[in-house]
Every structure is written in structure tokens, then in C-alpha cells.
Structure 1
Amino acid sequence: MLTPDTERQLMQTAQSLSGMSLGELAGKLDVRVPVNLNKEKGWIGLLLERALGASAGSKPLPDFPELGIELKTLPIDRNAKVLETTFVCVAPLTGMSGVTWQTSHVKKKMAKVLWVPIISERQLPVAERIICTPFLWQPDAEEETLMQADWQELTDMIVLGEVEKISGKYGEVMQLRPKAANSKVKTSAFDKHGRPFQTLPRGFYLKTGFTQHLLNKHLRID
């Protein structure tokens, strides 16, 4: 697909996919549909990126760099209940001194997001999962304040050498979790004495309560 030149063009293409099954979309793009997503967790996102002409690839930029828009799929059930947390970006565990919220990857990624809800109940075969109406979101002042507070708390813990203490209970709307294909993948971090050690890579994730709030706001559900 061609990279969209304008926000309007991107939204029109995204809206044209609404109601389509993943199998139908994959057929149009001549893409193989996996039997399950156990070993291909990012497959749905990659399919949508291809369909919409995302160009960032694996670079630490929004998926549509020219438009400053990130693409995120949102797995929901038939009752519009969000089913899982949303990966934002990998969390750097070293070189964090001097990094601020304003210069962080999280802020850049979350500045403007095209959300594509997908009915993804576990019992539904991948090919039969349905793309729902997309919506464009920019955080309002309150939403950004919540994300910033969590980012600051989690980043402070990383800088202070307490990454191993961080669990899913930290953060009101965003959490830090291991992000690796398997437990053999390691990355460098520092302990509280400033000594380097190897640990699992971590990623920032939006909690389901927050993405549910965004979806409800879009659907105008109180």
C-alpha cells in the first residue's frame, strides 16, 4: 500500500477496512494467516501496517512518521470490552540520565494514535476476527498527566537501579513488563550500586482500564 499523504487519507483507508475479517484483508494483501498467534504475536499489527501503508518499520518513530501518527490495534470482545494491555514501546534500561517526558519515546509514540479495535475473542479463529471502526486519539491534558506520572515513577526506579522491583502493580495507567521472545533474551541494566547486570528487556504497556476509557469515550459510553 502507498504511504498516506494526509491524516484524512489515512482515516478514509482505515475506515474502509471496518467490518472486514482479518482473513479477508489478508487475502487482499496475499498474506498467509497463521493458525494461532502464539509465535506471531505482532501479526495483526503488521497486517494493518501493510494495509494502511505504515512506513516506520522498526525505527523508534510513529508508524506514520510524516503524519506523526502511531498505529495500535485494540483487541476487544463483542461487548466492546478491551481484552489485553497495549504495548507502547521498549523501555531503555540504560542511558536514561537527562531523559525527560518531553523527549521520551512514550510521549512521541502516544502523541497521536490511530486505534483499530478488533473483535479478537480467544475462541475466534484468527481469520474470522473482525476489524471495527477505527478512531484517532490525542491525549487530553488529564490523560497525558497520568501517562507522564507513571513514566516518571517507572523511569526513576530504572535510574535508581530498582528495575527488578518493578511489577505490574506500579503505574495507574501504564506499567512496565518484561518484553522478550523468551527468557534467554537479556539486556544490560544497573543495580542500585551502579553495577551492570543482565536482565530481561522491558516494555511500557498501557493498562486495559486506560484503553477501555479511550474506547468508551470514542463510543460515547459513560
Structure 2
Amino acid sequence: MKKAPVSPKTVEELMQRANDMAGLTLGQVADTHNITTPIDLKRDKGWIGQLIEHELGALAGSKPEQDFLHLGIELKTIPVDDNGKPMETTYVTVAPLINIQGLTWEESIVYHKLQTVLWVPIQGNRDIPVAQRQIGTPILWSPNDDELALLKQDWEEIMEFIAIGEVQQLTARHGEVLQLRPKGANSRSVTQSIGKDGIKELTNPRGFYLKISFTQAILSRFFN
């Protein structure tokens, strides 16, 4: 693998790079960095995101901060079908399950990460070989007042469940635009959470995800 590109110094530079990538295939981008493209993504679920991070010079890796912290921008690749509809929910960050007393929406990592997002749509059809999947036009998005209000409402409702020890009752159906789902390598992954009587218990780690209808509305607004 060649040395990672230097991180862009300005938003304009980042957008120029992202726009230069549009229309290329994942294989073409991977080849410029001497990175081998996997045959499929069964064992390499995060490969596309890592490739785009590498190409654009993102710095955060798996740290709970924005990918371009110095620019205040989070990077999200999003697989879309032939109609430009997102094919899966979008992972935002791990949910805190203990030590959450007094935590407000404005202090949350979800709020921080979703301030400004660079969306990079990518062909997601399973029948297109990974190397031949095309990268789409990037979108720089910040939530409007309505979107922020929906996100805040869902976040507060979900955090209330966690705070009263009801995390097990939360399903992916909860939340209008934001949902909580198990997030771990497998069902054996466990972490501490608040139990029924405030006593800590073990549960699967959870992550916040944006629902497809929410991200679809974002893409539609920009592309129509």
C-alpha cells in the first residue's frame, strides 16, 4: 500500500478530491494505492469505507470523532441501488450504555458526528463485482432544523430507555430517523449496561444507525 494521501487542509480541497473520485470504480481507486480489491465483502465489510477514507485522507480511523476533525466533517460511504436508494442503514457511532447521567443531546457523539457529513454514494448491487462498482457524486450535508429536531427526539427517547435499564426493550423499530441496534463482532461480544435497578449488567454493545428513509430523503433532496 502506498503512503496515505495527506489530509485536505480546507473544505474546498476535500470536496475537490471527492468530486475527482466520482465516476471512478472502486478497483481504479484501489489500484492507485496498490490495494487489492476483495472478490466480495463477506469478510471485508468495512473495506469500501476504509478505501474512501484512505483516498480522501481521513484521519479518525475508529476513534469516536469526526473523520476530518480539523474541518468538522464526518465521512460516510453509502451503498445505493440502481434508483439511487440507500441499501442499508448508516452506522453513526457506538451508544454509551453506562455513565450517561446528565448527558445532553448537544454533548453526544451522535450530535457531534452529524453536524456536517460528506456522503459518498457507491453502487451497492451485489451482482456488480466490487472492483467494478462506481463511486457517485459526493454530497456535503448539514441537518436542517427539522432533521435536527427529529434526531434529537429519537436520541433522547433511546437514551431514556438506556437510563432506566430498558435497553433490552429497544428494537430497530424505535425511533423515526435514528435507531439502536446490536453492534459487535458477534453475539458473544458483551459490554456493561444499566440494569433494571440501576445495577450494572452485561449486554451486547449497541450502535446508533440512521434509518434508510432518512438518508434516502437527504440523497433525494440533493439529486432532484
Tell me whether 185-194 or 148-157 shows the greater mean CA deviation: 185-194
Q: How many residues align?
A: 220
Shift of 1:95: 0.9
**Given the alignment, which residue of 209, 214, 219 partners 1:210?**
214
Counterpart of 1:151 in 2: which secondary structure? helix
Summarize deviations over 1:167-213 as a string: whole Å, max 9, x none: 01100001000011111111011212112211110000000000000
4+ residue runs of structure 1 moved beyond 3 angstroms?
none
Shift of 1:159: 0.6
Q: Which residue of 2 aligns with 1:154?
A: 158
User: Which of residues 14, 24, 28 is equivalent to 1:24?
Assistant: 28
Measured in 2, the distance between the counterparts of 1:21 and 1:13 equals 15
Instruction: Report % sequence identity.
Output: 48
Q: Deviations over 1:59-102 (max 9, x none)?
A: 21100010000000111012111111000000011111111000
What is the distance in 2 between the residues matched to 1:123 and 1:193? Answer: 49
Match of 1:80 among 59, 84, 100: 84
Q: Could you tell me the TM-score, scaled by structure 2's length?
A: 0.96
Amino acid at match of 1:169: R
1:4 equivalent among 8, 12, 15: 8
CA RMSD of aligned residues (A): 0.8
Corresponding residue for 1:122?
A: 126
**Of 66, 72, 92, the match for 1:68:** 72
SS for the counterpart of 1:217 is helix
User: 144, 162, 181: which is aligned to 1:140?
Assistant: 144
Q: 1:13-52 CA distances to partner (integer Å, 9 max, x unpaired)?
A: 0000001111111011111111211222111111000000
Residue ranges of structure 1 left out of the alignment (5+ in a row): none
2:113 matches 1:109: yes
Equivalent of 2:100 in 81, 96, 108: 96
How many angstroms apart in 2 are the aligned matches of 1:207 and 1:194? Answer: 30
Higher mean C-alpha displacement, 26-35 vs 162-171: 26-35
Alignment partner of 1:163 is 2:167: yes
Q: Give, in angstroms, the shift of residue 53 of structure 1.
A: 0.3
- 2-structure distance, mates of 1:211, 1:110: 12
Tell me what 1:219 maps to: 223
TM-score (norm 1): 0.97
Gap runs ≥5 in structure 2: none
